[in-house]
Amino acid sequence: MSANLDWSNLGFSYIKTPYRYVARFKDGKWSDGELTADDKVVLTECAGVLQYAQTAFEGLKAYMTKDGKIVTFRPDLNAERMEQSAARLEMPVFPKEKFLEAVDMVISANKDYVPPYGSGATLYLRPFMFGSSAVIGVKPAQEYEFRMFCTPVGPYFKGGAKPITIRVSDYDRAAPRGTGHIKAGLNYAMSLYAIVDAHEKGFDENMYLDAATRTYVEETGGANFIFVTKDGKVVTPKSDSILPSITRRSLCYVAENILGMTVEHRPVRFDEVKDFAECGLCGTAAVISPVGKIYDHGKEICLPSGMEEMGPVTKKLYDTLTGIQMGRLPAPEGWIREIK
Ligand SMILES: *Cc1c(COP(=O)(O)O)cnc(C)c1O
């Protein structure tokens, strides 16, 4: 039976659901992993995560499709990215097969919290891993926990996708050869100052430039850029310090292989941005949020798509990808994992 929630008015905030998954790493190996009703994590005050931020996370969604199936979208890529994040932070890798099993277990156990098709709401899954044993000298922890909980989240755009205004940030997100390419909590901790400041000044997001030269576009705090040129090509910035968004990679595949567009994945200079026709931010939360205006130290770049609605190419990409996710359009091989 479906949980009695006001699905279409949910926001993006934590709602506790009945079950979550936990596996523990000790003496060099992972425990079997199990579901628990206990949402509390009890740790030593000296845990690696609390002292030196040894933690990484993932984010993905479960959807109810048109024909009533519960599905996830490319969870194998979240599993692989989490393996890469763990390796870079000297944490033990949580195996992909176990990750996928945990996805199935958590969704099945909380089935009543998968929002109905058409509500616009989804069930957001948050896998995460952290050093749980005591660490005082700077080194990796000996013990870890891998957890996954889920929380229903509302439609990202209530009343249509209005374009947002972003600003070029004076702060940097990721250093060259640093940790920008992994989903580490530390990348977010140090971005909070910049996003609070952006919001106070009336901007929705920060556009980060490359930290070394500040001439190339990187991404925002939690979404990759996708641009459309005036002659209809899709362009996405390439850099080793950008987090490889699964949404962005999927949109580029859709553009090239389903919509027959030309896609370029290459370094994008900031001074090219004024010549683009459309701009969007892509990530699991919104799929694509259209950008209408980019503020750069007193100068404004107004995208020709304007402040009223998504540009036509962005819209087509958005409709195609969400159509695949919601079961309205056929999916490329291996993209949809049904939860039984
Ligand atoms: C999670 C994240 C994204 C979006 O990735 P998706 O896999 O599409 O959800 C983009 N940038 C950053 C910095 C992120 O942490």
Instruction: Render pLDDT for 203-221 as a digit per residue (tens, 0 to 9).
Output: 999 999 999 999 999 999 9
Number of helices (H) and strands (E), helices first, in the chain?
Answer: 7, 17
Single-letter code of the amino acid located at 266: R
pLDDT grade for 3, boundaries at 50, 70 and 90: confident
CA dihedral (136, 137, 142, 147) positive or negative: positive
Instruction: Give percent of the chain with pLDDT exceeding 70.
Output: 99
Does residue 301 carry a pLDDT above 80?
A: yes
CA of 82 to the centre of ligand 1 (A): 12
How far CA 46 is from CA of 54, 133, 203, 236, in Å, comes to: 12, 7, 38, 41
For residues 13-25, give the mean pLDDT.
97
Q: How many other CB atoms are found less than 10 A from the CB of residue 27?
A: 6
Please report the beta strands in the chain, taking only residues with DSSP state E, as ranges in sequence order: 20-26, 29-30, 34-36, 55-57, 60-64, 70-73, 122-131, 144-153, 164-168, 205-207, 224-228, 234-237, 263-266, 278-283, 287-296, 299-302, 336-339
Q: How far is ligand 1, taken at its centre, from the CA of residue 224, in Å?
A: 7
> Which of ligand 1's atoms lies nearest the C-alpha of 246?
7
Residue 105, classed as helix, strand or coil, is helix
Q: Can you name the residues that pair with 35 across neighbouring β-strands?
A: 21
The predicted pLDDT at position 8 comes to 83
Whether residue 73 contacts residue 36, with contact meaning beta carbons closer than 8 Å, is answered with no
Tokens of 172: 């940097």
Nearest protein Cα to ligand 1, atom 12: 222
Average pLDDT, the chain: 96
Q: Whose CA is nearest to atom 10 of ligand 1?
A: 223
Atom of ligand 1 nearest to the CA of 219: 11
pLDDT at 159: 66
| pLDDT number for residue 226 | 98
Q: What is the pLDDT of residues 262-295, one digit of tens each?
A: 999 999 999 999 999 999 999 998 899 999 999 9
* CA neighbor of 94 nearest in space, from 149, 145, 19, 159: 145
Q: Which residues line ligand 1 (CB under 6 A)?
A: 59, 183, 219, 222-224, 243, 245-248, 283-284
Q: Quick one: which atom of ligand 1 is closest to the CA of 249?
A: 8
> What's the pLDDT at 156?
77
Ligand 1 center to 315 CA (angstroms): 20
CA distance 207 to 172: 9
What token pair was written down for 185?
């909590």
Give catalytic residue positions.
183
